[in-house]
Structure 1
Amino acid sequence: MELTREHFRAIIYHNFRRGLSQNKCLSELVSIYDVEAPSQTTIYRWYAEFRRGCVSLSTVYSPGRLRIAVTPENIAAVRTIILGDRHVTYEQILAVISIGMTAV
């Protein structure tokens, strides 16, 4: 059985609730899962989130580029536009490929 990020997050949360330190949590996960265990940075980050009261174990929305913005079709379209006119504006690119301003 392959563990997902959510599974590891649940295990880290369980260790957090048990009162284990971050280092003990890391050593326990490494002893059980070896190279598949999350990194020290991941464990420290999730402990910090749990201390702040964020206990959601599902994938958390992270701001940034939308998945639909980076597609082979959009990349090819932007490349064609830029090669045709190197002084093209963001607005002109947006009009052609129909994605939001934050995705450009």
Structure 2
Amino acid sequence: MASKISQSKSDLTKRDFRAMIFILFKLQKTRVEIYESFQEHFPNLVPSLSTVERWYREFIDGSFVLEDAPRSGRLNISHNEENVNEMLDLITKDPHITYAQLEYETEYHRDN
């Protein structure tokens, strides 16, 4: 009987699962075999089957990058008083300022 590995969500990242999928892909396991193995060993953390399939497809297509691709989204800023005041000042001066301009002016970056 296979043992279950006790992990908290903070212990395993998306990158960790992607790396495990890559190793199992190289060992010629199927998408379903990988998913079922994750369900057995990481019952509370397993990514969805569609996620496993998407990453598996990326490996088939020759993309072996384990990091998520950059994407647009909300600005990644820390919510301290100085940052909030800086943003409010820029928005007050120009209510039509864009996210890109805020990012440039404040040197904050979008989530990746």
TM range (shorter): 0.5 to 0.7
Match in the other structure for 2:71: 63
CA shift for structure 1 position 77: 4.0
Calculate percent identity across the aligned residue pairs: 21
Displacement of 1:89: 2.4
TM-score w.r.t. length of structure 1: 0.63
Structure in which a larger fraction of residues adopt helix: 1
CA gap 1:41/1:79 in 2 versus in 1, 3 angstroms? farther
Query: In 1, Cα distance between the equivalents of 2:62 and 2:30?
Result: 17
Residue 14 of structure 1 aligns with which residue? 23
Give the ranges of 4+ consecutive aligned residues of structure 1 lying more than 6 Å apart after TM superposition: none
TM-score (norm 2): 0.60
Taking the aligned partners of 1:14 and 1:37, their CA distance within structure 2 comes to: 16
Q: In the aligned structure 2, how far is the partner of 1:22 from the partner of 1:60?
A: 19
Q: Give me the whole-angstrom Cα distance separating, in 1, the residues matched to 2:24 and 2:90.
A: 52
Of 80, 98, 105, 1:98 maps to: 105
1:99, distance to aligned residue in structure 2 (A): 3.5
State the aligned residue count. Answer: 95
Q: Which residue is equivalent to 2:4?
A: none
Of residues 43-52 and 73-82 in structure 1, the stretch that sits farther from structure 2 once superposed is 73-82
1:33 aligns with 2:42: yes
Unaligned runs of 5+ residues in structure 1 are: none
Query: Judging changes above 3 Å, is the alpha-carbon distance between structure 1 residues 4 and 89 closer, same or farther for their aligned structure 2 residues?
Result: closer
